[in-house]
Structure formats: C-alpha cells, structure tokens
Amino acid sequence: MSTPQVSDIMTEAPATCSVDDDVGTAAKALAEHDCGALPVVEDTSPRRPRGMITDRDIVMRTVAEDINPLKMKVADVMTNVALIVNADDPVETCLNVMKDNQVRRIVVVDGTGACCGIVSQADLARHLNPAQVGDMVKQVSQPTEQASAPAG
C-alpha cells in the first residue's frame, strides 16, 4: 500500500481571495462556502499563496479593536505567512507542518506554486487514524508563549 499524498485528502480548488479584496467580500465568501479560512492569493497567474484570512482574524483584528471591518482590505487583517505543502507531499509532511506551526489549516500548492487546495484538521480526521489526529490536535492546541503571557 502506498503512502497517501496530500492530494488524496485535500479540499480541491478552495475559495480564495486577494490582498486587495475588502474584508466584507472575504467574510461573505467564508459564509457562502461554509468555511473558516480562505487562502489569500496573488491576483496574477499562477495564483501563489500570500497568506490566509480566517473568521477569527476578522473578529480579532477589527471588531475586537472597534474598527469597522467594512472599511478594511484583506491585507489589513490577514495572516501574512503562507504555510504551504505540495500536493505530492506525503500526508505525514502536512501533519508535521501543522503540528510544528500550530495551525489548523494549510494551503496546498501544485508544481507551479499555485494554490490548488487546502487541508484542514477535519480532512486529516477523515483520513488518518484517531491516534495521529489526536496527537496533532493536542500539538496544535498547546498555548503559545505569546498567548499565555499576561496582557501588558
């Protein structure tokens, strides 16, 4: 039996947005596609990942700061680091990147570097054994030093 690849478990052709989209448009796309995150990609081809925007990003970086999200661009609230895996990587690589970086979703790219998919914890839960998934969820959910430090 061959080792499963990321392409075997990823959600293909995910909804995306660009840095120049307004936050309202991104929020509507999150609702329309019933997802918690959108890869932020370049407007030009190939649509390389630039970052990620989540529903939490929108709330924490706008509403929680008393800033009107409808007057902001995706670039203002997105996470700028685009952690990626390749579609032909082993699923274990994806699992390790998610654990090591404490992320719940990761963007998948093809051979040209274009966004072609996304892998979430749910995708892993559907395809891996419960022990692997449990370990990953435990690692991702560990408090970081920044999150556990008292507000100053």
What pLDDT score does 2 carry? 65
Q: What span, in angstroms and rounded, lies between the C-alpha atoms of 136 and 139?
A: 5
What pLDDT score does 152 carry? 41
Contact (CB, 8 A) for 84 and 106:
yes
Q: What span, in angstroms and rounded, lies between the C-alpha atoms of 49 and 107?
A: 8
| Residue ranges in the chain modelled with pLDDT below 50 | 147-152
What pLDDT score does 138 carry? 77
What pLDDT score does 148 carry? 44
Question: Within a 10 A sphere around the Cβ of 117, how many other Cβ atoms?
Answer: 21
What pLDDT score does 55 carry? 94
What pLDDT score does 81 carry? 77
pTM value is 0.84
